[in-house]
Amino acid sequence: MSALFAPRTFPDVHFHILREQDIAAVSCVESDVYAFPWSEGNFRDSLLAGYRCWGCWSGNELIGYAILMISIDEAHLLNLAVTKHWQRRGVGRHMLQFIMDEARKSHCVMLYLEVRPSNHAALRLYAATGFRQFGMRRDYYPAQDGRENALFLGLELV
């Protein structure tokens, strides 16, 4: 882990496994944060597939979520978002640390993800956490002018 990565603690913030009844709230956050959001069906499919779907809550308010797919000894972070109101407060780091811990508890040795090269805030977070680029997926994301590549990043968890 990078020495630069020192997540703050948030005593009023807690994590719970997402349920079917949380999908509408998750979808609202997703639509507010991303120009090309996942659909409610994407989240429902993630739940049905058995992915680790976590909500981050402050009291009764959903402030973020993460979708983690685990396969044998690898984890793939499929989606992570923080509501605009809670961004730039360290919540994303806190959530990422939680996801890394969950992956380790499942005996994963690597955590992978894709990120848009244009998502500078996410790139700073992942770099500070110790992720490194393993490749690029061409035309991975929809974009205003067609498609955008994705950077394929990974982090050793051992």
Q: Which amino acids are annotated catalytic? A: 114, 126
Burial of 47 (0-12, 13-18, 19+ CB in 10 A): middle
Using CA atoms, how far apart are residues 28 and 35, in angstroms rounded to an integer? 12
Q: Which two tokens stand for residue 122?
A: 């996410």
Beta bridge partners of 56: 15, 64
Burial of 143 (0-12, 13-18, 19+ CB in 10 A): middle
Closest CA to 121 of 72, 70, 87: 87
